[in-house]
Amino acid sequence: MSNVILQVLERDLPELPPQVAEIIEELRDPNLIDRPVLIRKINECGNLGAAVLRVVNSVGQRRGRRARSLEDAILLVGLEATRHIILGILLQALFPQRQLLENFDRRSFFRHCLGTGLAAQLLCQEAGLSGRFDTYKLVNYGLIHDIGILALDRCLPVTLNRIFQIATEENIPILQAEGKVLGRHTHSAIGQWVCTKWHLPPDIRNVVQYHHAPRRAQVNKQEIIIMHIADTISFNYYESLRESVHKYEIEADLVESLGLSMAQILKVEEALPQRVERALEILEPIAQDAPCIF
């Protein structure tokens, strides 16, 4: 990462608020979580508990069962799933929406991130892998896989604005425009830096670092491939909404490695828009600036 970008990130990336740092520390090792302590800390952190319940009751597929408290949520989806939901919400909220940029649409960005998580769910269903990968864990990965973009929005908004401006003016994919502006210091590299600075769990750092380069992942490779394909499906959908003619290719061998066919990929692509819109009916507030969490 260039010294200039690193210096700006070091200067402008906020430190974790103490109450957030305490919750993340409590969540670091799922085997050591003290449930009563965690619940108390969440209840002391603004409306974080209400946001967790919103996710639990909208993303899950357990019809007729709703969580009415954090205790209910943990019993309903499990401590590990609740852990990932909390992390996803906290990391989104640490980067409040700003009104400085002309070309970066934060709402569309949130829809893409949510779409990535939901596409990962659909891929697992198609591949018969739902029993191996936690539903909420995949949604959390989707919500935070592009944390590097959020860091750019916070610390280098003019640079991010330029990336989207070039993509529009030259009619090229966003990732290609990013390469023109950032070179090899992509949002994945920036996101990895953020994960390291904030001491985020290794599995999150792994997804952030390798979601565009799944072949380079050394651990949890199947998860990374799922997130890579899901990210591509979601990105292509939202590129089409901005009337872009560009479509990222999904590599056949990666699809086959999950035991899927391209016909099943098409099925996921067709199902995704409705799934996202349904989830957004409840999750939309998380896409907005939510200072009351802190």
Interval 127-186: pLDDT, tens: 999 888 877 788 889 988 999 998 998 888 888 888 888 988 888 877 888 888 888 778
For the chain, what is the mean pLDDT? 83
pLDDT (0 to 100) of residue 97 = 62
- Which CATH code fits 3-293? 1.10.3210.10
Any alpha helices (H) in the chain, and if so which ranges? 3-12, 18-27, 35-43, 48-59, 70-77, 79-93, 106-127, 135-144, 147-155, 157-170, 174-182, 187-197, 202-210, 221-241, 252-257, 262-287
Q: Is the pTM of this model over 0.85?
A: no
N- to C-terminal Cα separation, the chain: 31
pLDDT (0 to 100) of residue 123 = 96
Q: What is the pLDDT of residues 273-292, one digit of tens each?
A: 998 887 776 565 555 544 34
Q: What is the pLDDT of residues 139-148, one digit of tens each?
A: 889 988 999 9
Q: What is the pLDDT of residues 8-35, one digit of tens each?
A: 988 988 887 888 888 887 877 777 888 8
Quickly tell me which residue has 């944390």 as its tokens: 147
232-234-236-242 Cα dihedral, nearest 10 degrees: -150
Residue 250: Cβ within 10 Å count: 16
